[in-house]
A = this chain, B = another copy of it.
Amino acid sequence: MSPREEVDVPSGRPAAIPTPAPGDPRLARLSLNQWTTRHLGVAEAVDGCARSGIPAIGLWRQQVAEHGLAEAAKLVRDAGLHVSSLCRGGFLTAAGAAALDDNRRAIDEAATLGADCLVLVVGGLPEGSRDLAGARARVAEAVGELVPYALAAGVRLALEPLHPMYCADRAVLSTLGQAVDLASRWPSEAVGVVVDTFHVWWDPEVIAQIARAGERIASFQVCDFLVPLPADVLLGRGMMGDGVIGFRPLREAVEAAGYTGFTEVEIFNADVWAADPGEVIATLVRRYVTEVL
């Protein structure tokens, strides 16, 4: 197929550039977050990365469990893929011992996979509660309980601030500054932060807070912010270039802060999920080059 015939998904817009081929140096820091191609198992996603020249993958626990942990670890290793993150632990605000136990299992899985970090979505307000300060204190306490285990396993926890619209039901960690404040209680190798463009792009402090985060940046995730949001606001994440985010200043700030890891494309979007996964991967490779680099 000539580049002229390639079409981006899900927008249907003509491709702006030919899809970079495997080995193209521009792809050296690109990672596919597995949830972008949600319906692919680990083997298919790994194959998609290998065939497209994407050198890293962000894995999700349920797909890893379906494939088998040891087999998944071997598969990505044999394919020469780097594991840029494991998604995800957290949900600590309603946590009893069971939630902490599940996070310890997630830490073990991240260690087995050799993941750069375990992403933590910290959880929202406990059911029926309006005690936001209390929920935030509980998160700090629970992270503190996990740190020794993570340090012993050699796994870095990555605190992910989520967009404030998810404060009540997903994550009481709402800004990068708040995440850095919290992470700073522990050694940098134990607790870092995630910079996800969707969650932080609006923040008047974001550039300053990325600089402040510095070596705490454990993961950089990109996707666009769609306007209007869909009815399910969890699925408002779009292909880079389909929304309102200017990516370059954010990527440059993350690099200037010293981050040398991968840039993970993580898109939750019903139309992306309905599209052909091969076309999704080709589109994100092109858009990464034209919108993010």
The answer to whether A99 has its CB under 8 Å from any CB of chain B is: no
Tell me the complex Cα distance, A58–B268, Å: 40
Q: What residues on B are CB-neighbors of A175 within 8 Å?
A: 203-205
Q: What residues on B are CB-neighbors of A244 within 8 Å?
A: 125, 130, 168
Q: What residues on B are CB-neighbors of A233 within 8 Å?
A: 165, 229, 233
Known: A174-B203, A202-B174, A231-B231. A168 touches B225 (CB 8 A): yes
The answer on a CB contact under 8 Å between B164 and A246 is: no
Number of contact residues on A: which range applies? 20 to 34
The answer on a CB contact under 8 Å between A169 and B130 is: no
The answer on a CB contact under 8 Å between B246 and A201 is: no
Known: A174-B204, A202-B132, A204-B178. A165 touches B164 (CB 8 A): yes
Quick one: which of B132, B169, B202, B249 contacts A201, CB cutoff 8 A? B132
* Contact indicator per residue, chain A 209-249, by CB within 8 Å of chain B (1) or not (0): 00000000000000001011101010000000001111001
The answer on a CB contact under 8 Å between A169 and B227 is: yes
**Would you list 8 pairs from A and B whose C-beta atoms are within 8 A, ordered by A residue?**
A130-B245, A163-B165, A164-B165, A165-B233, A168-B227, A169-B228, A175-B204, A175-B205
**Could you list which residues of chain A lie within 8 angstroms of chain B, going by C-beta atoms?**
125, 130-133, 136, 163-165, 167-169, 174-175, 177-178, 201-205, 225, 227-229, 231, 233, 243-246, 249
